[in-house]
Every structure is written in structure tokens, then in C-alpha cells.
């Protein structure tokens, strides 16, 4: 039934395109005398502020609004969409500047209305409530997004909806990815405990698993600010940005005692060069290059939904490479994994009060749940990305690096809201390494650390004192301990100072919220 509806929708679009072509080829006289030409409404204009996500195809585009996929989005959605790119590496800072400057797009991507850079815009009325607009113009949004997502703190406040969320295929957003060909060459089995992981990383460093006769391997790599390295914190149940309710208080993991031991593990990894020594400053493109083009990284962390992409891209630099998804290291309590998140995805779309016709932004997002949108986003452009043979789509699954980058444009980046391509069983069944993605999602669903602060709104003290958050004083301390500039014992003084600087008030506000919502 769905296929029939999709084909009918496609036929309608093609028919409309054919009619438009006939009209334009009929000369100026035909256009002047056509009643339809006189009464035809221009498509609604919607400016969209959207992050680049660090994707090479997006950031390398000379003009994203002239891109063929952007043009197709305009055609199918019947909306004159203009994309205004926000650099991934400066996303939070750029949002802060946007709100301060006042010149906002009609529709803006955020990482949640409770984020420090967005929360003040809610409180000061810069962003508008969307309840009535969704009721009137967003039937697909209302039908397909679950109630718990609408109620989440990154989406709503005080019973009012301020954001349109995308929905995660799995709450746990990251898994461990390892070079299976390296393990096989060294005759090693996938590790389970922290000690076994360290043993594996040492072998990666010392035993030349890439076979080039040089000790150039980087056993474990991540990005600036320790991003995509946090599995060893998870082993000790102290994911740095998360919270634990204990002894009647909601406490940030940053100051819990296990953090000291976890930082000691990272110090050991850094000292022995088992952890990339550029991990506090490394940009995404440099991290990518080490893993893919250079092929010198043995272990890294990323999203389970992208396992097939990673498997293909690593082959561009190491054609015989094999990727495996393995469980995260378990700690003293026999558990492990990264933070278990929410069904609400990382992107939440908001509409500023300066938007003249906010209903057009809602209609655009609502369109993403249509069969027409899903076909375009999953399969791309006919002729370029797929052909139709015998009434069936034959998708050209990408193999070359540039094709993989290009596929991200329609498959993930333009998919502002709506079902993931992972929910399309036929697409995934035929996809190279599609089984690896399914395994990655399965691994993610079976591990992870609970965050008792999940859904907590922006706390007043953290808004006023952002240095008390994960990327402030704690990150400074972590960098000093891990790189050997401070002893792990410096952690004790950090906790004391953090509380005096306003941390005690942060804990009080967090605890009050927790108790009010977990009665």
C-alpha cells in the first residue's frame, strides 16, 4: 500500500513537472493567456538555520542552496527553502551570537531549548510556543512524534512546546568501533574489561598491526575536548556530563569519587600513547583523516547508525580493513557503556518570534513525514542515486569516498525530522554492511549508563556560571591531570572549589527539579 501511495505521489510530481515544462515551452503568448499562470501562488519562503554537522559534502559545498538535493527539496516540499549554514565546530557560539544579534532565520536548529545558549531565548520570548501551530498545521508531527518526546525538557517548558524534535532510532548514541583486521592479525579476541582494553591498545601500539613496519599506530583516538573517548568514564559510571541521584541529592558525575579513578585511567592511556595525544585539541577533519585516509587508528567511538558508513570509509585508506562493533569496557561493577539518552534526538527545531509566517515552517517540517519525502531522503535522485527497473527501485549503494559523503546529504543531513532510513527494512537488507548497523544498534541497546539528570531543564546557576558545566572547570582539570601537569589528587581540591564557586547551589537546583519530577 505504501509503495502504491509513493508511486502515485511521484507520478503526481512528475506530471506536474511535465505540465510546467509544456507551459514554459509554449512561448510567452501561452503564459500570458493562461488563467493558471495568473492565479498560481508562489511557494512560501522559509529560511532555515542549520548546522553543518562536520560533514565533508556540506562544508565543502561552494553554494549549498544551488546543490541539486537542495533544489529537489524545494521542488518536492513546494517550499522556497534557503539554507543558512552554521559551522559545526562553532555551533553553540554561533547560536549565542545569532540570538544576541536578533537577525534570526524562520526556522532554527538547536540542540534543545534547555541548552545554555538557547534557554534565555525561551525565557525572554524570543522563541514562540508552537502548540496551536502544531495542532493546526502539523498533523503528521502530532501523529508520529510520541508524547514523551513532546514532554521532554529539550522540547517543552511549562506545558508549552517550543521545539520540534527528531526521534532517535536508539537512545544510546555511540558504540565502540574497532579494526577487526588488526585483532585478527594479532590473534586477539575483543576485550571486555578495562584491563583487557588496555592490553589490546598496547598490542595495537607495539605489534605493527597495520603491517607497514613502523610504529605509527594510534591505538585509540578522539576529538577535541575528549569528545568520542568517554567509554572509560562509562566503565566507572561517571560520564562527565551526566548526573546520579544518591544520598538524597542529584550529583554531577564530574565531582563523584569514581571520577578520580577514571581520570587516572585516562592519564595512563595518555602517558603510554595508547590515547591520541592530540585528543584535547583535535579537529573532526583531522580525526577522520587518521582513521580513514591514513588508517592508523585501531579504536574509536561513533554512532551505531553510521557503522556501515565507517566500514566503507576506512577501506578508502586501508582496502583490506574490517570493522567490528564491540561492547564498551566494563568497570569494577561489571557494567559499562556510554550515556543512555532519550528518544529525543540531538536536534530540536525552534521558530523565532521574528518569523512572519511561522505556519510555513511547521508545514515544511510536517512534510518530512510524507511518503514522498521519505523516498527522496532515503533514495536520493532518480538517475543519480537510483534507477527504476520493473517498477522497483535499484539503489546505487555508494562505495567511493566522495559518493559516501554525497549520500549523507540526502540520507541524514537533509532529514530534519521524520523516520530514519534505519526503519526501512528493505533498504537496510540490501545495503552493504547493513547487518553491521543492526549489530551496532543491538549492542547499543544492551549497554549504557543511566543519567538521572536526563531531561533536566537549564539550571539558573549553570546559565549564569557556565564554567561550572562539563566544558568549563572540569575540562581544564581533566586536561591537566591526563597530560601529567597535575596529580590525580588535584581532583579533591577541584571538587571543593567547584562547590564554593556555586556548585552547591547547582546541586540544590538539580535536586529540587529531580524530586519534583520523580515523586
Model confidence at 33: pLDDT above 90: no
What's the pLDDT tens digit per position in 126-162? 999 999 999 999 999 999 999 989 999 899 998 999 9
What's the pLDDT tens digit per position in 387-440? 999 999 999 998 888 998 999 999 999 999 999 888 888 888 888 888 999 999
Mean pLDDT of the region 363-387: 96
pLDDT at 39: 55
Please report which confidence band the pLDDT of residue 372 belongs to, taking 50, 70 and 90 as the band edges: very high
Mean pLDDT of the region 61-67: 97
- 92/348 Cα distance (integer angstroms): 13
CA 16 → CA 12, 22, 218, 227, 505, distances in Å? 6, 10, 55, 47, 61
What's the pLDDT tens digit per position in 85-108? 999 989 999 999 999 987 899 999
| pTM score of the predicted model | 0.74
Question: Pick from 204, 231, 230: which is nearest to 218 by CA?
Answer: 204
Mean pLDDT of the region 345-351: 93
Phi and psi at residue 244, to the nearest 5°:
-135, 130
Pairing of strands 175-179, 107-110: unpaired
pLDDT at 423: 82
Model confidence at 285: pLDDT above 70: yes
pLDDT at 40: 66
- 2 vs 265: which has the higher pLDDT: 265
Model confidence at 282: pLDDT above 50: yes
Mean pLDDT of the region 277-289: 95
Model confidence at 357: pLDDT above 50: yes
pLDDT at 111: 94
Pairing of strands 160-161, 392-395: unpaired
Mean pLDDT of the region 170-176: 86
Amino acid at each position: 500500500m505504501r509503495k502504491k501511495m509513493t508511486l502515485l505521489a511521484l507520478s503526481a510530481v512528475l506530471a506536474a513537472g511535465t505540465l510546467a515544462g509544456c507551459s514554459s515551452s509554449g512561448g510567452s503568448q501561452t503564459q500570458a493567456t493562461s488563467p493558471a499562470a495568473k492565479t498560481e501562488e508562489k511557494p512560501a519562503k522559509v529560511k532555515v538555520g542549520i548546522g553543518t554537522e562536520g560533514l565533508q559534502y556540506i562544508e565543502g559545498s561552494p553554494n549549498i542552496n544551488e546543490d541539486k538535493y537542495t533544489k529537489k527539496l524545494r521542488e518536492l516540499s513546494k517550499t522556497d527553502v534557503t539554507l543558512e549554514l552554521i559551522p559545526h565546530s562553532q555551533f553553540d557560539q554561533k547560536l549565542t551570537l545569532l540570538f544576541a544579534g536578533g537577525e534570526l532565520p524562520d526556522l532554527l536548529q538547536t540542540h534543545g531549548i534547555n541548552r545554555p545558549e538557547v534557554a534565555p531565548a525561551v525565557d525572554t520570548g524570543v522563541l514562540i510556543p508552537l502548540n496551536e501551530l502544531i495542532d493546526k498545521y502539523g498533523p503528521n508531527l502530532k501523529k508520529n512524534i510520541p508524547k514523551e518526546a513532546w514532554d521532554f525538557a529539550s522540547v517543552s517548558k511549562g506545558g508549552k512546546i517550543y521545539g520540534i524534535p527528531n526521534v532517535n532510532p536508539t537512545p544510546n548514541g555511540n558504540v565502540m568501533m574497532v579494526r577487526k583486521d588488526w585483532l585478527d592479525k594479532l590473534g586477539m579476541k575483543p576485550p571486555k574489561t578495562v584491563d583487557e582494553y588496555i592490553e589490546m591498545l598496547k598490542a595495537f601500539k607495539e605489534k605493527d598491526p597495520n603491517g607497514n613496519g613502523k610504529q605509527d599506530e594510534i591505538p585509540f583516538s578522539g576529538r577535541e575536548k575528549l569528545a568520542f573517548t568517554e567509554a572509560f568514564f562509562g566503565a566507572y559510571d561517571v560520564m562527565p556530563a551526566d548526573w546520579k541521584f544518591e544520598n538524597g541529592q542529584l550529583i554531577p558525575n564530574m565531582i563523584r569519587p569514581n571520577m578520580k579513578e577514571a581520570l587516572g585511567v585516562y592519564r595512563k592511556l595518555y602517558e603510554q600513547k595508547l590515547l591520541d595525544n592530540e585528543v584535547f585539541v583535535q579537529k573532526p577533519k583531522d580525526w577522520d583523516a587518521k582513521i580513514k585516509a591514513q588508517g592508523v587508528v585501531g579504536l574509536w567511538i561513533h554512532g551505531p547508525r553510521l557503522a556501515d558508513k565507517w566500514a566503507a570509509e576506512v577501506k578508502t585508506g586501508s582496502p583490506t580493513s574490517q570493522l567490528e562493533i564491540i561492547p564498551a569496557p566494563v568497570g569494577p561493577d561489571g557494567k559499562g557503556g556510554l550515556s543512555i539518552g532519550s528518544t529525543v534526538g540531538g536536534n530540536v527545531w525552534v521558530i523565532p518570534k521574528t518569523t512572519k509566517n511561522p505556519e510555513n515552517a511547521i508545514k515544511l517540517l510536517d512534510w518530512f513525514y510524507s511518503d514522498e519525502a521519505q523516498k527522496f531522503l532515503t533514495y536520493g535522485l532518480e538517475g543519480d542515486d537510483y534507477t527504476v527497473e520493473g517498477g522497483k527501485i535499484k539503489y546505487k549503494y555508494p562505495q567511493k569516498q566522495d559518493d559516501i559523503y554525497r549520500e549523507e546529504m540526502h540520507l541524514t543531513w537533509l532529514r530534519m525530522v521524520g523516520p530514519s532510513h534505519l526503519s526501512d527494512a528493505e533498504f537496510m537488507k540490501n545495503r552493504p554492511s547493513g547487518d553491521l548497523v543492526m549489530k551496532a544498534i543491538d549492542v547499543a541497546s544492551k549497554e549504557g549508563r543511566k543519567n538521572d539528570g536526563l531531561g533536566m531543564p537549564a539550571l539558573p546557576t549553570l546559565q549564569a556560571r557556565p564554567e561550572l558545566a562539563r566544558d568549563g572547570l572540569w575540562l581544564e582539570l581533566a586536561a591537566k591531570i591526563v597530560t601529567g601537569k597535575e596529580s590525580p589528587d588535584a581532583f579533591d581540591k577541584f571538587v571543593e572549589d567547584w562547590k564554593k564557586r556555586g556548585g552547591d547551589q547547582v546541586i540544590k537546583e538539580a535536586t529540587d527539579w529531580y524530586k519534583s519530577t520523580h515523586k
